[in-house]
Amino acid sequence: MSLTFILGGARSGKSSFALSLAVDKRTVTFIATALPLDEEMKERIDNHKRERPKYWKTVEEPVELLLAMKSINSEVIILDCLTMWVSNLIEGYKDEEIIRKAEEVALYARDINSEVIVISNEVGFGLVPEYPIGRRYRDLLGKINQIFAKYANKVFFMIAGIPLEVKNESK
């Protein structure tokens, strides 16, 4: 049906914008990739849950996005976010495997009979990470963001809560 990709920096309004795109839909499933590894992350997750309408379904899946998406039958699927997903995979998978998984998810998301909204952080504007794992993460997420932007019908870049339309193939 359609794939919308929302990219931006931390706290740029990506999740709020995604919610606004789906708020009037009857069936929405939210796929959450974050793992509650510490108290701060638990609090962030709880805050995000409170922002979503109560009737939305939530699927917590930190690794197997394709499998999770295939099990969902909703008018809209929101995937939040690729940034955490790559972080969850980087220790246990080779870059080529992660890229292949991302390509499979992006292709599936573009072609299913749901509106899919995918969120990710732009990590290429900052400093070059000091350590090899940080550089690997930045480079890998950059490649994955490119994959999703390529297959998306619409791409938005968030700046200070303002969505800038970068791509719109439905016009």
Answer yes or no: is 166 within a domain.
no
Residue 35: the pLDDT is 81
Catalytic option among 25, 45, 48, 57: 48
CA distances from 51 to 16, 41, 110, 169 (A): 8, 15, 26, 30
Residue 98: the pLDDT is 98
Sheet holding 162-168, edge to edge: 57-60, 28-32, 76-80, 115-121, 2-8, 154-159, 162-168
DSSP strand E in 10-142: where?
28-32, 57-60, 76-80, 115-121
Contact 79, 32 (CB under 8 A): no
DSSP element (H, E) containing 1? none
The model's pTM = 0.94
Query: Is 48 part of the annotated catalytic residue set?
Result: yes
Give the end-to-end CA distance of the chain in Å, rounded to a whole number: 15
Q: What is the extent of the structural domain holding 17? A: 2-161
Answer yes or no: is 70 within a domain.
yes
What average pLDDT score do residues 17-27 get? Answer: 94
Answer yes or no: is 171 within a domain.
no
Residue 108: the pLDDT is 97
Contacts of 106 (CB under 8 A, 6+ apart): 3, 118, 147, 148, 150, 151, 152
Residue 11: the pLDDT is 87
**Predicted confidence (pLDDT) per residue in 75-109, tens digit:** 999 999 999 999 999 999 999 999 999 999 999 99
CATH number of domain containing 33 = 3.40.50.300
What average pLDDT score do residues 46-57 get? Answer: 85
Residue 47: the pLDDT is 81
Answer yes or no: is 100 within a domain.
yes
Structure tokens at 103: 């390509």
Residue 19: the pLDDT is 94
Total number of domains in the chain:
1
Residue 171: the pLDDT is 58
**Predicted confidence (pLDDT) per residue in 104-153, tens digit:** 999 999 999 999 999 999 998 878 888 999 999 999 999 999 999 999 99
Answer yes or no: is 8 within a domain.
yes
Average pLDDT, the chain: 93
45 vs 163: which has the higher pLDDT: 163
